[in-house]
Structure 1
Amino acid sequence: MTYNNSVLVGNWAEERLKNEYEFKLFLRKRERRELLLQKSRTLFSNLLKEEPLLISGTYVLYGFNVQVVASDMPAKPKVVAAKQKYGLAMSILVRERQVDYMQNISDGCLMTLSPILTPCCRNSFLIVSAWDDHKRGDQLKYGDEFLLQAENYADPKAPPLYVRYAPAGAPEPKDRMPLRLSAVRDSNCRFTTMPLLPCDRLEGLGSPVKTGARLIIKNLVADKSLCVMYQNWMQTFFGAECGVNCANYIDIHGRNTAENIFTLVSDVETKTKN
């Protein structure tokens, strides 16, 4: 056999050793659960772990977990030849680029609104009093200051994380999403509720908040209402979701529009009725 320029010569031994090394590296990563597929499964298992909401009865109670649901907003941006569903639950988002080093909720996670209404880790929050962490079983009343603490089912002993509004220090784009989870508990984490109709807000202060009641949730630092960024949809690990912000949407009659209307769902029966 003669060799000339048309004969292809390969490094067969080197290729075989390289394949063996890559296979051993794959096995080692699989044993350590470092594969991207395994990390993704862990992420889904932690954030989508279903947990029933505590049944608090007619009224929202401190120390009980709730869902913050925009019940009047469509669950999908466009529906063709199908019945439109309504309801978007405020949820915690872990982005695709964060999966390598984050498989659970943590400080800095973005807040979105998801059409997934099943109670789970990423869309359940504890109602915590801004003045007394140990308050439990008391009724939440209109005008009370409270915190939304994330429910970490995968690691209950982890430090608490709160929904925090980050105010902009300079002019910001309209699609900026300033609500994130934070381990820092300051005044930016404080929220309050108001009755939906302006004529009921003065007399309604101090009255208990009913589960499933349509109301306004306002951040105390921003002095703006929680709102749905319905024009800002994004594709995530959990499907199409839209943004959430703090802004006032007022019609010509001085009433808040559907973007500002939320409900605090604290039991399965109330969520089913909605």
Structure 2
Amino acid sequence: MAQRTVFNCNVKVGNWNEELQRKEESKKVYLDKRERGELAAQKIDFLKQNILGTVNLSLTTDGQVHFGDFVMLVNMGGENRECSSVSINAGVNNLIRIPSPGIKSPCGVSAGRGILPCRRTAFIITSVDGSPEGSTLLYDQSFSLTTTRGFARGLYLTSDIKSFQKCAKISRLQEVTLEEEVSFLSWWKVVHFDPQERLEYEGQPVPADVKVVIRHCKTNQALAVMGDHMLWTLYGKEYEVTAHTFLDSHKAEEDKNHWILCNPDPAGSELVPLDQPESACDNKEPTQGNTDGI
């Protein structure tokens, strides 16, 4: 009868010592990363905790938008999409800790369906032509949109002519990103949403909480939200944002290109109700704008 060797569970076979050392090394690396906060879950929690911090939007007393105002870019939605706002689409790869915690460029943007004011959704109306802070933004006047300072780093909303290498991920249209350096690619302007009244309103103050079209100065393409193109982000399922003008049969921009520069109400505690995209001033004759200091 052949002799049979029987092993029990305590017998160590193969490269058991190497396996044991590898497990101990992996555990040590894991504990070191956890101590430094470098685990993926820790980075995500740190990113969300900071970028979703509350921001107070600028209180408008005269119903107009001014340079230096903190606003939200809100689209009222349409047939295949809900109300949404332009948001920073920062991932773990955009997170930096040196010299101070924040996000780095280039960073994507998306249209989130959560329209609460926070570092992720707040943008600053920034002058590019020397207009002083506090002066009124006018229709057809160039300006830039920057994120808040600190963790959001004051990045500029930027776009450029699409190419095979640089375009929106899903729609393949003109891409919109956040960049660190200001340039002509980060210049935008506001025009009246009705093309027939566009010339009449040129040079007039831009009212807050009223439907407008935001155009890119270099390419003349309008900022758009893509209801049929969804992005999976750390913050949920959101719409893609591009720079592309969608025209209807009357040669007017579709609701994909309609935005509201959202400010708080006079009480300063809540956002202006967003169920009325057009204010009473839409039906009034334009008045001579106050251009002092511009």
Pick the TM interval, shorter chain: 0.7 to 0.9
1:30 aligns with 2:34: yes
Return the offset for 1:5.
7.3
Equivalent position of 2:161 in the other structure: 167
Return the offset for 1:273.
4.2
1:91 aligns with 2:87: yes
Cα distance between partner residues in 1 of 2:48 and 2:91? 12
Equivalent position of 2:180 in the other structure: 183
Q: Which residue among 126, 137, 161 is the counterpart of 1:128?
A: 126
Cα distance between partner residues in 1 of 2:116 and 2:157? 20
Equivalent position of 1:228 in the other structure: 225
Q: What is the identity, as a one-letter code, of the residue corresponding to 2:146?
A: Q
Equivalent position of 2:284 in the other structure: none
Query: TM-score, with normalisation over the residues of structure 2?
Result: 0.78
Equivalent position of 1:67 in the other structure: 72
Q: What is the identity, as a one-letter code, of the residue corresponding to 1:53?
A: L
Cα distance between partner residues in 1 of 2:94 and 2:105? 14
Query: TM-score, with normalisation over the residues of structure 1?
Result: 0.84
Partner-residue secondary structure (3-state), 1:4: coil
Which of the two has higher C-alpha Rg? 2
Equivalent position of 1:152 in the other structure: 149
Cα distance between partner residues in 1 of 2:173 and 2:102? 23
Cα distance between partner residues in 2 of 1:196 and 1:266? 19
Contact residue 143 and residue 187 of structure 2 kept, 8 A: yes
Equivalent position of 2:249 in the other structure: 252
Cα distance between partner residues in 1 of 2:114 and 2:251? 31
Cα distance between partner residues in 2 of 1:221 and 1:116? 30
Cα distance between partner residues in 2 of 1:218 and 1:100? 29
Return the offset for 1:214.
0.3
Equivalent position of 1:83 in the other structure: none
Partner-residue secondary structure (3-state), 2:253: coil
Return the offset for 1:230.
1.7
Cα distance between partner residues in 2 of 1:238 and 1:72? 19
Partner-residue secondary structure (3-state), 1:242: strand
Cα distance between partner residues in 1 of 2:32 and 2:248? 60
1:211 aligns with 2:228: no
Name the CA shift for 1:147/1:27 in 2 (closer, same or farther; >3 Å): same
Cα distance between partner residues in 2 of 1:166 and 1:255? 23
Partner-residue secondary structure (3-state), 1:45: helix
Name the CA shift for 1:224/1:18 in 2 (closer, same or farther; >3 Å): closer
Cα distance between partner residues in 2 of 1:270 and 1:118? 8
Equivalent position of 1:50 in the other structure: 54
Return the offset for 1:53.
0.9
Q: What is the identity, as a one-letter code, of the residue corresponding to 2:182?
A: R
Partner-residue secondary structure (3-state), 2:135: coil
After superposition, the C-alpha distances for 1:38-65 in whole angstroms (9 at most, x for unaligned) are 1111110121111121212311111011
After superposition, the C-alpha distances for 1:213-235 in whole angstroms (9 at most, x for unaligned) are 00111101111111112221121
1:4 aligns with 2:2: no
Unaligned runs of 5+ in 2: 276-294
Equivalent position of 1:80 in the other structure: none
Cα distance between partner residues in 2 of 1:235 and 1:169? 23
Cα distance between partner residues in 2 of 1:170 and 1:40? 31
Name the CA shift for 1:270/1:29 in 2 (closer, same or farther; >3 Å): closer
Equivalent position of 1:110 in the other structure: 108
Cα distance between partner residues in 2 of 1:177 and 1:116? 24
Cα distance between partner residues in 1 of 2:202 and 2:84? 26
Return the offset for 1:12.
5.4
Return the offset for 1:260.
1.0
Return the offset for 1:170.
5.3
Cα distance between partner residues in 2 of 1:177 and 1:29? 39
Return the offset for 1:117.
0.5
Cα distance between partner residues in 1 of 2:118 and 2:29? 35
